[in-house]
Amino acid sequence: MLPDIPWFVYAMLLAPVGLIVFAAGYKYLEVRAASDWPSTPGKVVTSKPETRQVKVIDSDRARGHRFEERNFANVTYEYSIAGQVYRCNRVTIGEDRGNFEVAETIARYPVGKPVTVFYNPNKRSEAVLERDMPQGMWGCMGWMVAIAVALVFGSAIGFNKLTEFVSSMPVANAPMTVALGAFGAVAALIALAIQRHARQARHWPVTRGTIATSGLERFRSAATDTSRGQIRFKARISYTYSFNGVNYTGTVASLGGEVSSTSDRAVQRWVKRYHDGQSVDVYVNPANPSESVLEPRAKGIWVVWAIVAVLWGLAAFVATRG
């Protein structure tokens, strides 16, 4: 039985599921429309890796977003319709957010290769080479929705049952004790996942790279109900490297995540370790060479474990003293 929680709480928890369903529906309509597009012969004229700026949602910033450098396969093809020549560089009907199958796409479409171009008859400059969604995409989305719904309702039911169980024990404040313990468990799982990823990264192949930029990024954090957002600083480090004959750009210096501070001096100490043009070792994920790191260690992971200790300590305090 579901716990007595206001409906809007469930609505907030299920909002991401709604976004997934909306995106899937929109993509389905796009794929269905492209299935009726006519085709024409074309030829690949450019096939190379390139770096683009991608806009990413970031609720911690006043602007609500930031920009990331990501690797893309720039496959440009040329085709002719009614005597007019067009160029396009969209390969698939799916969304390409970068850092995915860069080398594979370049190898699949080398310069000079004849291709079949599917174009929009109402806007002939809009075209694709692959108009079908990747195999298993719809099944993957279905599983994502099912897992998300199961997590929301399963967590609510589990929290309710666990609270009832703890209430039968000599505990002062069962709901708060369970909540603090659960948050601590989630934080511990995150810390373990980061450390596991760092261990894997230490076994990635190493190649030489070059620092492209090393400096500070200044931004304003998101405002709160009581104050305007603070000015914060974070390291902005990018480097170039080559893996299996393909050039990439990386921006991950450490696996500890992006850390910002209100003190530029604190961040500057980290930035000074790298300077423009410096030669560095780059650890590259062989399964996805767009993923790389300079230092394969979980920098600052102790902070997460400190949060875990505080949450579990508070849970013990509340359980014994209320």
One domain, residues 83 and 226: no
In a domain, 197, yes or no: yes
In a domain, 157, yes or no: no
One domain, residues 24 and 102: yes
pLDDT surpassing 90 at residue 267: no
One domain, residues 177 and 322: yes
Using an 8 Å Cβ cutoff, are 321 and 312 in contact?
no
pLDDT surpassing 60 at residue 92: yes
Distance of alpha carbon 176 from alpha carbon 156, whole angstroms: 14
User: What stretches of the chain adopt beta strand conformation (E)?
Assistant: 39-57, 65-81, 84-88, 114-120, 123-128, 206-220, 231-243, 246-250, 260-261, 279-284, 292-293
pLDDT surpassing 70 at residue 154: no
pLDDT at 299: 74
pLDDT at 52: 94
145-166 mean pLDDT: 66
pLDDT at 118: 96
Amino acid, single-letter form, for residue 193:
A
In a domain, 150, yes or no: no
- Residue bearing the bigger pLDDT, 200 or 2: 200
In a domain, 167, yes or no: no
One domain, residues 226 and 269: yes
**175: confidence class by pLDDT, cuts 50, 70, 90:** confident
pLDDT surpassing 70 at residue 319: yes
Quick: pLDDT tens for 28-80.
777 778 888 999 999 999 999 999 999 998 888 888 999 999 999 999 999 99
Q: In Å, what is the CA distance from 237 to each residue of 83, 114, 224, 245? A: 47, 39, 29, 23
Give the H or E element holding residue 131: none
pLDDT surpassing 90 at residue 20: no
Q: Considering the chain, what percentage of its residues have pLDDT values greater than 90?
A: 43
3-state SS of the chain: helix, strand, coil percent to 5?
40, 30, 30
pLDDT surpassing 70 at residue 188: yes
Indicate the number of domains in the chain.
3
pLDDT surpassing 70 at residue 156: no
Report field, pTM of the whole predicted structure over 0.85 = no
Average pLDDT, the chain: 85
Domain range for 224: 206-296
pLDDT at 109: 97
In a domain, 289, yes or no: yes
One domain, residues 109 and 253: no
One domain, residues 183 and 313: yes
Q: In Å, what is the CA distance from 32 to each residue of 127, 217, 231? A: 14, 43, 47
In a domain, 143, yes or no: no
One domain, residues 194 and 305: yes
Could you tell me which residues are beta bridge partners of residue 182?
none
Highest mean pLDDT among 59-63, 227-231, 274-278, 315-319: 274-278
One domain, residues 181 and 307: yes
One domain, residues 248 and 306: no
One domain, residues 191 and 277: no
In a domain, 241, yes or no: yes
SS3 string of 267-303? HHHHHCCCCCCCEEEEEECCCCCCCEECECCCCCHHH
**260: confidence class by pLDDT, cuts 50, 70, 90:** confident
Give the H or E element holding residue 92: none
Q: Residue 59, Cβ neighbours under 10 Å: how many?
A: 7
Angle at alpha carbon of residue 75, lines to 114 and 107, rounded to 5°: 75
In a domain, 160, yes or no: no
One domain, residues 317 and 183: yes
One domain, residues 195 and 107: no
Q: In Å, what is the CA distance from 252 to each residue of 17, 68, 211, 263? A: 29, 11, 12, 21
pLDDT at 59: 85
pLDDT surpassing 60 at residue 1: no
224-231 mean pLDDT: 83
pLDDT at 160: 64
